[in-house]
Amino acid sequence: MTGDPESPQISKDGDILLGGIFSFHSSWKDRQDTFTHKPLPLECTSLNFREFQFAQAMLFAIGEINNSTDLLPGISLGYKMYDTCGSIARSVRVALALANGHETESAPSDEPCTRPAQVLAIMGETSSSPCMAIATVIGPFHIPMISHFATCACLSDKTKYPSFLRTIPSDYYQSRALAQLVRHFGWTWVGAIRSNDDYGNNGMATFTETAQQLDICLEYSVAFFRTDPPKKIQKIIDIIRTSSSKVIVAFLSHMDMEVLIHELSKYNLTGYQWVGSEGWIFDSQTAERDIHHILDGAIGLSIPRAHVSGMRDCEIFTEFWETLFSCTFKRSTSSAGNQKECTGHEDVTGVRNSFTDMSLMPIFNNVYKGVYAVAHALHSILGCNETCNNKVHLSDIQPNSYLQLNLQNIFLLFLMQVPVSVCSEKCPPGTRKVLQKGKPVCCYDCIRCAEGEISNVTDSITCIRCHPEFWSNDRRDACVKKEAEFLSYEEIMGALLSAAALFGACMTVVVALIFFKYRKTPIVRANNSELSFLLLLSLTLCFLCSLTFIGRPSEWSCMLRHTAFGITFVLCISCVLGKTIVVLMAFRATLPGSNVMKWFGTTQQRLSVVAFTLIQVLICIVWLTVSPPFPLKNLKEFKDKIILECALGSAVGFWAVLGYIGLLAMLCFLLAFLARKLPDNFNEAKFITFSMLIFCAVWITFIPAYVSSPGKFSVAVEIFAILASTFGLLICIFIPKCYIILLKPEKNTKKNMMGKVAPKYV
């Protein structure tokens, strides 16, 4: 180095010199260099008492080693301590001074430009950025630099900083631990402030990376340095004021935090939950300056102590403080072991000041143990044989991770009430999260699950679709079994249809009894009593077969209802068709020379009914053999119901049954229509025509109504069609005759029945 000499603030000669770099002042006055004159030295401002305490810890450790007869006997340690004023440039300058000394003038020399460094090790610096600069400069000279408080994880890179060591964990652990702490309290929406230096930037980068893995979102992340212009700091204050997050993670040095507190106090920005790094969270001076209670309830992680063999812990520091300040300490031995606990920091006169503050005891311990680490390494080198190389062997003293919390503040936090800081409230069961466009993943809307979907956990990102036989409840948080729906006897519609079917069957039986009682009267004999009784039997079966459509569908009921319906209706239509043919043949037989009745006598009538019915039976057998009807759970008709119905199996078989019935009905209607102009006193053909007209009209309208009716209503439509058509046949064919038999017996005579033309079969 050339130029103005750098003089240490504190120094002492010794056989071996140790360097000390501390920021006895935290800032400096700005100067305007014109580069036309030699720059003036930095004018340091803002005395930093904490750095003096670190220096005192180093002095105490050196003094204790010099007085020791076991460690470095006969060798005295000296020191040179410099003040950097918190300036990186000045830190490099004093590091060079410690390494090379200072030459007042530069002159050519034949001697090699190599010589031992002035110091064998450097203690400090406190901050990470100056340490990076110093370690870069002195690294090629292999001068160990041991920091007690530089926590930037970047300094762990031995390729860049081969000679840098420290007695404190790196921020690799602290940053992750802070993220875990934030997540523990459920704070997913936080703001972040960092020092705009290597300590803050690297620490916050690690915190941000871990926070993303833990689903923590940063509403904002801003950086500043204590020497920034007021406008920049004001902008940060405005960001805090307008933010919605109530938790602020501050990765700051204590000097930057003091500046921030001063600005926050102007606007009385209280009510925020601060989560702090070790750079300021345990700094007593920061707490003393917080007169407006900006940081009330702030929490952070404590600094664990490093462990180096052969060194005493609290007892040494008790002696240290008693020596420097004549303080009285209370020593207590815990029941768990022989570890001593230091408590209290008042002297006998009741004075309390920053020098007697014991809150930074772990950091002082780190300075103390760093000096001892160097001393032990030197002791090992001086005691080894000639094969040893003459280098100081040191390694990082690895303390425990940041696991201890600031329990006092956390206790106060629980007493007050844990604040809530989330961008969006938790989505309750029954809803799912939908991210808000252009915002972090912590900002979302809660959308209710769609019908048939549920979510049964908080903050679900998807809704689960229920099983087809289940449906979502009103809250959309559970699947409930769908209601099974079918036409039952218990409901009103089923009961009414059942009553109508039984009434029709009873009515048919009554008509049959009337006809049986008056079977020898002309009107009964004129209507072919054998076919009439067979028709009444088939009508009774038609009424009763409708009951098979009511109730829970089963395998047997599904096959029975359609086949019974098809066969009984064909039997019924066959009887009507036989009566129609008989009427036509009877009046054809009245013509001279006609002998047609012999071709359609009683035997032929029976055979025609059997033949027509047998065809339907064969169709039903084929249908049941190939693809019979079967019970089916219809899950598509209604979203929230299961329709229990009978699937047709083979649609061809079903429509073949209906088509055959329709074919017979149309044939019967056509024949009856041709016989409509028979003599007035014989109205059988007219009644059959009208009954078949009703029958065909009912079943023609049935088809579209059946197809369009949902669920159990399609079954009700089919039952209604069966009952309506059966009632039409019963009423149109038999009720007029019963009217004459019971109320107009004078017309029930052979003379009246024969009229103008008398049929031969009467």
pLDDT digits (tens, 9 = 90+) for 289-303: 888 889 888 888 765
Note the helical H segments in 589-645.
602-626
Q: Token pair of 698, please?
A: 């009912």
Neighbouring residues of 206: CB distance < 8 A, sequence distance ≥ 6? 153, 171, 172, 175, 176
User: Which pLDDT belongs to residue 39?
Assistant: 66
User: Which pLDDT belongs to residue 358?
Assistant: 52
Integer Cα distance of 1 and 7 in angstroms: 13
The residue ranges of the chain whose pLDDT is under 50 are 305-355, 390-392, 400-408, 410-411, 415, 680-681, 756-762
Name the CA radius of gyration of the chain, rounded.
54
The single residue listed with the structure tokens 């103390």 is 368
The answer to whether the beta carbons of residues 80 and 98 sit under 8 Å apart is yes
User: Which pLDDT belongs to residue 115?
Assistant: 59
Considering all CA atoms of the chain, what is the largest pairwise distance in Å, rounded to the nearest integer?
166
User: Which pLDDT belongs to residue 621?
Assistant: 92
User: Which pLDDT belongs to residue 38?
Assistant: 67
The answer to whether the beta carbons of residues 169 and 401 sit under 8 Å apart is yes
Integer Cα distance of 234 and 222 in angstroms: 12
Q: Taking the complete model, does pTM exceed 0.75, yes or no?
A: no
| 125 preceded by a cis bond (ω within 30 of 0) | yes
Kindly give the interhelix angle for 651-674 and 602-626, rounded to the nearest 10 degrees. Answer: 160
The DSSP-derived string for 444-470 is EEEEEPPTTEE--STT-SS-EEPPTTE
Q: Token pair of 336, please?
A: 């768990």
The half-sphere exposure of 285 on its side-chain side, counting CA atoms within 13 A, is 20
User: Which pLDDT belongs to residue 402?
Assistant: 47
The answer to whether the beta carbons of residues 454 and 478 sit under 8 Å apart is yes
Q: Token pair of 328, please?
A: 């009285």
